[in-house]
Structure 1
Amino acid sequence: MSEQFMPIHHIRSTSRRLVRELGFMGGDFAGTDLPPSAVHALIEVETCPGVTARDLAKLLRLEKSSVSRMLRKLVLSGDILEETDPEDNRIKRLHLAERGRERVRAIHAFANRQVSDALSRLAPADGHTILDGLRLYADALGDRVDATMPAIPIIEGYRPGIIARITQMHALYYARTSGFGQRFESVVAEGLATFCNRLENPKNAIWVAMRGQEIIGSVAIDGEDLGSDIAHLRWFIVDDGVRGSGVGRRLLATALAFADENAFAETHLWTFNGLTAARHLYETHGFACVEQRPGSQWGSEVLEQRFVRPLNA
């Protein structure tokens, strides 16, 4: 798309207004007396307990010296604890102290009220539009800097807790964004448990993204349920804390590489209308929507969509 057709000026203007409305330009931020960088640091330490100062600097896109000064203040204020790594005493791991946990709870409460108040002035469907738009924009901006993110390994195969954790990520995300409930959670858990019993078939595989000992993303290729020449991409999800970090793209690329290596003629996936950011990701990896139909298999009626990607697309 040529620049003349892209709303660059309006996006920049709206971005500046958003920054002002959120309080980044001064005064109290997130209901605290902390600068925005310190608020974000506390949230990232909560999300990634044990993170190092170096990795925190990469997450926040800040110079290491700036992060060091900020962390020194947060340690002295009793918000953050530094603990020596048990395997390398040169490395300090960061954790929230009790004061820091209380402060982060207050930050979340303030931010949740702020978002809730704004959404209350809009139509219910507008919330999903905002979410998808922000994710698309953040993903596009993040493409410049994904290489600076701390390494999150993609690991293949079953591991203890995988069924429960992947089910939990699906249940929580789709309850919040689409109103799905117990029926959806049960369908995910049952299907995933049955699939894991078939992992001995070399045409089937599952991968998870790991942050420490926590599963924060997943994807699977089921090479049996749609026929011998079709790969079924299933259970693709990432945790809210790493959306926009590139983890989803890596999981998807890993699964599609497996499908191509095993010479599946096509890879299929089922989703539903309204998940704009996910659709954009699928289409950039060679998928096209070939079928739409109303369905209620997930507990409420949605417009189900089937996407297909040919071999080596």
Structure 2
Amino acid sequence: MNRNFTITRIDSLRASARCIVRELGFMQKGLAGTELSPSAVHTIIEIGYGTVTNASELGALLHLEKSSISRLVQKLEAEGLIEVGLDPDDKRSRKLSLTKRGEELLAEVEMFARHALSAALEKRSDKDIRLIESGLDMFAKALSGQDKSVSAVPPELTIHSGYRSEIIASVVRLHAAYYSQNYGFGAVFERKVATELSEFMGRIDRPSNATFSAYRSNELLGTVSLDGEDLGQGNCHLRWFIVSPRAQGMRIGSLLLEKATSFIDQAAFEQTRLWTFKGLDAARHLYEKHGFVLANETPGAQWGTEVVEQEFVRLRPA
């Protein structure tokens, strides 16, 4: 044991950790209002968020041996919560995805967990909540061995900043393909992305604006932009955040948002806003993980299709 830490101090941290485990229900038969084991609930969440796409990634994330993961996957598949199929990008790997029933269970788990945390934080001040957020994030990273700064970039990836040749076309292509296939967005959405992104790239060299993009060789796998001008002084607009379906499980979304929030904090914006729509649960998880809070929700059709539009806000850390 490091002699800089007394046994009393370590045991105090352990007591707090045990309290969190108890109060979140990890000692109960079912977790988050389900009849599933903690590992099963975690599996539903991580597959739903796109954090993992196969059994190998799941085993590494949950720190479980191959045989345990195999039994877990078989059980959840038998219960109709997940599907196991061939990965089109790697025929040797089996891709995990949620069934409709699994997606419904994920929504129930999310509602349960959000209610539990909301109840716990309801009477706390904004300052206390920010302190809790930063403390838990730092504690989680310390336990997992992660550095407190931006996470390491996988060796096969390169994170670029600023304009790159063909980036406008590549970002528009990613958005158009994903939202057309999954949500039926059409010409209005594609034209809006192309027009506004082109205008933004004309002022990308100004210090209040930034774009971060993840590449594997010459293939764009994800991107996010920060517009520090269009919402007025002291405000930042997080825009065009997207990760290619081919890059699921590579943590590109987290890497890009860590880059984005680092830029936001260094530029000292008072608040950062983003607009999205209900149903993008994996993205919402990442937004909330990086300090964004849902501020408004209303039906709208600014992207050419009727959806429940959402506005998220991130305030400058105290």
| TM-score, normalised with respect to structure 1 | 0.60
Indicate conservation of the 8 Å contact 2:89/2:246, yes or no.
Answer: no
Q: Where in structure 2 are there 5+ consecutive unaligned residues? A: 1-23, 42-70, 109-143
Paired position in structure 2 for 1:2: 25
Paired position in structure 2 for 1:281: 286
Deviation of the 1:171 alpha carbon: 0.8
Deviation of the 1:172 alpha carbon: 0.9
Paired position in structure 1 for 2:210: 205
Q: Distance in 2 between matches of 1:176 and 1:128?
A: 18
| TM-score, normalised with respect to structure 2 | 0.59
Paired position in structure 2 for 1:194: 199
The 3-state SS of whatever aligns with 2:182 is: helix
Superposition pairs of residues 102-113 of structure 1, within 5 angstroms: none
Indicate conservation of the 8 Å contact 1:132/1:277, yes or no.
Answer: no
Indicate conservation of the 8 Å contact 1:132/1:275, yes or no.
Answer: no
Distance 1:132 1:275, change over 3 A: farther
Superposed structure 1 runs of 4+ greater than 6 Å apart: 130-133, 143-148
Paired position in structure 2 for 1:308: 313
Q: Distance in 2 between matches of 1:173 and 1:163?
A: 16
The 3-state SS of whatever aligns with 2:193 is: helix
Q: Distance in 2 between matches of 1:166 and 1:130?
A: 32
Number of paired residues? Answer: 219
| Counterpart check, 1:235 vs 2:240 | yes
Paired position in structure 1 for 2:165: 160
Q: Distance in 1 between matches of 2:170 and 2:283?
A: 20
Q: Distance in 1 between matches of 2:231 and 2:252?
A: 27
Specify which of 179, 182, 185 is matched with residue 187 of structure 2. 182
Q: Distance in 2 between matches of 1:267 and 1:291?
A: 14
Indicate conservation of the 8 Å contact 2:185/2:303, yes or no.
Answer: yes
Deviation of the 1:244 alpha carbon: 2.5
How big is each residue's C-alpha offset from its partner over 1:208-238, in whole Å with a ceiling of 9 and x where there is no partner? 1010111111000000000110110001001
How big is each residue's C-alpha offset from its partner over 1:32-81, in whole Å with a ceiling of 9 and x where there is no partner? xxxxxxx76x8349xxxxxxxxxx9xxx7xxxxxxxxxxxxxxxxxxxxx
Distance 1:148 1:154, change over 3 A: closer
Indicate conservation of the 8 Å contact 1:218/1:236, yes or no.
Answer: yes
Q: Distance in 1 between matches of 2:182 and 2:219?
A: 23
Q: Where in structure 1 are there 5+ consecutive unaligned residues? A: 23-28, 31-38, 46-55, 61-106, 134-142
Aligned letter for 1:43?
Answer: D
| Counterpart check, 1:292 vs 2:297 | yes
Indicate conservation of the 8 Å contact 1:169/1:239, yes or no.
Answer: yes
